[in-house]
Every structure is written in C-alpha cells, then in structure tokens.
C-alpha cells in the first residue's frame, strides 16, 4: 500500500465508525423516547385514578374518561336546572340500552347512558323525556322506543347518587331511574356517533329532599308510597321488581297484625330487567297503625322479602 493511499483508508475507516455510532445513538434515542412516553401515560392514568377523576364503569362498559367533542362541549358551560320536565332526541335512533356509566368531576357527578341498535352502538339518541319532581330524590329518563337492555341496575360510588334501575315501562319502551340521596340540580346533553345521553348532577345549595328516595327491599322497589301513609278507603301502590315469575304480593295488615287486604300483582318483566307494577287497593277501615308489605316469598325459605311501610288508618 502506498504512503498516499494510507490517509484515505484511515479517513474511510473513521467515517464508517462515526456513521455506525450515529445510527446506534439514533436507535437508542428512539427507544428512550418511546419508553418515556409510555411511562408518562402510565403515570398519568395512575394519577387520575388516585384523584378519582377517571369514571368507574358501573356495568357493561370500560372505565374510560367521557370526552365531550368541542362541537358539542356546551354541556361543560351549560347551567344546571331544577326544571321538573325535559325532552329531546330524534324519531330514528337507538332501540336499546348498552350500559350506564358514572364519573366524578369537580363540582358535579356524571352519568352516561350508552345507547345501541341491537348489541352495537347506535349513532343517534332516540326520543326521550325526563321527569324530576321538585324536592324528589328520583330522576327518571324515559325512552319510548327502547325495548331491550344489556344492563338492569347498579350502584354508584358517590355520596350523592345512590343507584339506578332500568325498567320496562307500562306504556311501552323503558325508563332509567337514577336515585339521589341529596337534593340536586341537573343538566342534559345528547352525544352522537356513538349515541349517549349525558346527565350531570350537582348538589342543590341550601335544599333538602321533600320526598325521600324510593324504598328497596329484596328484589322490590316501591316508588309510591314512600313514607308513612294514610290508608283512606283506597291506596295506590306502584314500583318495579324482579321477583320470580313476575309475581308481587301486596298485603295490608291492621294494628293487630291481622291481614285485611292481599292482592297478587304481576309486573311486566322479570327475566331481562326490572318490571313495572301498579295497583289501587280497596282498604277497609281499621284503627291505629297498620302496615303495608310489598314483595314476594323467598325461593330459599319462603320468608317474605320486600318493602315494609307503616300505615295510618284514615277511616
């Protein structure tokens, strides 16, 4: 090898070495960047979970943060209301409830009703109407065109909201009852693609419930009556249940414990979800304090399971 060729050879060797080092650094940098990003995402999720800002999936859905698209983000600034009625939706849309989800946010709590067509997410929220009587611990969202559900009930990890039930409505369709143990205001938003109805709840300042939440016992929920009631000739009893064979026993006892009224009432579902029932009893006069029992015999030991409520004779 000539003396003139040596520097060129050394130059090429040095150049190749530099290029190899740069490639190696580039690969290491890319690996470090991916690892760092993944680590940050994991840390972020852990931090959100620790603060409780990631909604808990009550049933039927994954615990994902509910993101409101910018074009539909008015709910974040919309005022809360105590209006007793609200309505919305379209004629064509979902025909089933897929899930009911819950999340805690600063100053309010969010419920999300996921709506579907069959077992798939729907694109549009169907017709709905909402009732929230003043001072009542119950908010009901009725979906006239919905005839199926993949979730029947669940509880909320919340000091304010208690639970929900999906019920087959007596007029057709289904309704979702959301129960609060505190007075509240609310706001509603429809989301499309996929179809969701969002209902946010905020505590009502300086307000107490004038009507307590529905009464629950066993597989029975009684929505009327809910407090000590005067039985004056007639007494209307309504609610929903999942008792075997959709059978509900409604019994009135007088002050001595003697049974003076017994009626068997069928609810309109019990296999897929909660079934609605309602009846008006003819109550004979009695003196003193009586008792109303609504429920069914336990399939295990035959004992009564359900709701018990005091009655006052009305003559």
- In the structure, what pLDDT confidence band is assigned to residue 40 with cuts at 50, 70 and 90? very low
Domain 215-313 grouped into CATH 2.102.10.10: no
Residue 102's Cα: distance from chain center in Å?
Answer: 6
| Among the listed residues 176, 75, 83, the one whose alpha carbon sits nearest the alpha carbon of residue 136 | 83
**Picking from 57-71, 113-127, 191-205, which range would have the lowest pLDDT averaged per residue?**
57-71
- 77 versus 255: the higher-pLDDT residue is 255
Q: Which pLDDT does position 312 carry in this prediction?
A: 83
- In the structure, what pLDDT confidence band is assigned to residue 38 with cuts at 50, 70 and 90? very low
- Please count the other Cβ atoms lying within 10 Å of the Cβ belonging to residue 48: 13
Please provide the average confidence, as pLDDT, over all residues in the chain.
80
Q: Which pLDDT does position 77 carry in this prediction?
A: 66
- In the structure, what pLDDT confidence band is assigned to residue 288 with cuts at 50, 70 and 90? confident
- In the structure, what pLDDT confidence band is assigned to residue 58 with cuts at 50, 70 and 90? very low
- Please count the other Cβ atoms lying within 10 Å of the Cβ belonging to residue 22: 10
- In the predicted model, is pLDDT for residue 84 greater than 80? yes
Q: Which pLDDT does position 87 carry in this prediction?
A: 96
Q: Which pLDDT does position 78 carry in this prediction?
A: 82
Q: Which pLDDT does position 287 carry in this prediction?
A: 82
- In the predicted model, is pLDDT for residue 301 greater than 80? yes
Cα separation, 86 vs 228, in Å, equals: 30
56-203 and 215-313 share one fold: yes
Q: Which pLDDT does position 66 carry in this prediction?
A: 52
- 19 versus 293: the higher-pLDDT residue is 293
Q: Which pLDDT does position 228 carry in this prediction?
A: 79
Per-residue b/e over 62-91, b at no fewer than 16 CB within 10 Å? Answer: eeeebeeeeeeeebeeeebeeeeebeebee
Cα separation, 61 vs 53, in Å, equals: 17
**Picking from 58-67, 78-87, 264-273, which range would have the lowest pLDDT averaged per residue?**
58-67
- In the structure, what pLDDT confidence band is assigned to residue 268 with cuts at 50, 70 and 90? very high
Cα separation, 26 vs 53, in Å, equals: 38
Q: What CATH number labels 56-203?
A: 2.60.40.3500
Residues 6+ apart with CB under 8 A from 186: 80, 81, 82, 132, 139, 199, 200, 201, 202
- In the predicted model, is pLDDT for residue 260 greater than 90? yes
**Picking from 141-150, 177-186, 235-244, 305-314, which range would have the lowest pLDDT averaged per residue?**
305-314
- Domain spans, the chain: 56-203, 215-313
- In the structure, what pLDDT confidence band is assigned to residue 22 with cuts at 50, 70 and 90? very low
Cα separation, 230 vs 223, in Å, equals: 16
- In the predicted model, is pLDDT for residue 23 greater than 80? no
Query: Strand, coil or helix: what is 43?
Result: helix
Residue 77's Cα: distance from chain center in Å?
Answer: 22
Query: Strand, coil or helix: what is 138?
Result: strand
Average pLDDT rounded to a whole number, residues 62-67 = 44
- 170 versus 313: the higher-pLDDT residue is 170
């Amino acid at each position: 090898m000539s003396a003139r060729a040596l520097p060129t050879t050394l130059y090429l060797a040095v150049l190749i070495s530099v290029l190899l080092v740069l490639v190696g650094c580039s690969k290491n940098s890319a690996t470090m960047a991916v690892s760092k990003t993944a680590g940050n995402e994991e840390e972020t999720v852990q931090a959100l979970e620790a603060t409780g800002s990631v909604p808990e999936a009550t049933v039927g859905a994954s615990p994902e943060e509910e993101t409101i698209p910018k074009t539909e983000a008015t709910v974040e600034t919309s005022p809360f209301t105590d209006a007793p009625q609200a309505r919305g939706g379209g004629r064509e849309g979902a025909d089933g409830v897929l899930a009911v989800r819950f999340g805690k946010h600063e100053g309010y709590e969010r419920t999300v009703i996921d709506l579907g067509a069959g077992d798939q997410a729907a694109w549009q929220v169907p017709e709905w109407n909402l009732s929230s009587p003043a001072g009542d611990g119950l908010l009901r969202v009725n979906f006239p065109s919905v005839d199926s559900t993949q979730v029947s009930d669940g509880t909320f990890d919340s000091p304010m909201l208690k639970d929900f039930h999906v019920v087959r409505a007596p007029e057709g369709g289904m309704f979702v009852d959301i129960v609060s143990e505190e007075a509240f205001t609310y706001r509603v938003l429809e989301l499309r693609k996929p179809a969701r109805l969002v209902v946010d709840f905020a505590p009502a300042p300086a307000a107490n419930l004038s009507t307590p939440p529905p009464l629950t016992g066993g597989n029975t929920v009684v929505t009327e009556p809910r407090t000590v009631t005067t039985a004056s000739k007639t007494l209307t009893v309504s609610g929903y249940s999942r008792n075997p064979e959709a059978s509900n026993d409604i019994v009135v006892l007088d002050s001595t414990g003697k049974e003076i009224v017994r009626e068997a009432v069928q609810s309109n579902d019990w296999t897929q979800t909660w079934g609605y029932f309602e009846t008006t009893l003819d109550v004979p006069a009695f003196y003193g304090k009586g008792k109303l029992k609504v429920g069914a015999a336990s399939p295990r030991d035959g004992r009564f399971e359900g709701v018990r409520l005091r009655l006052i004779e009305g003559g």
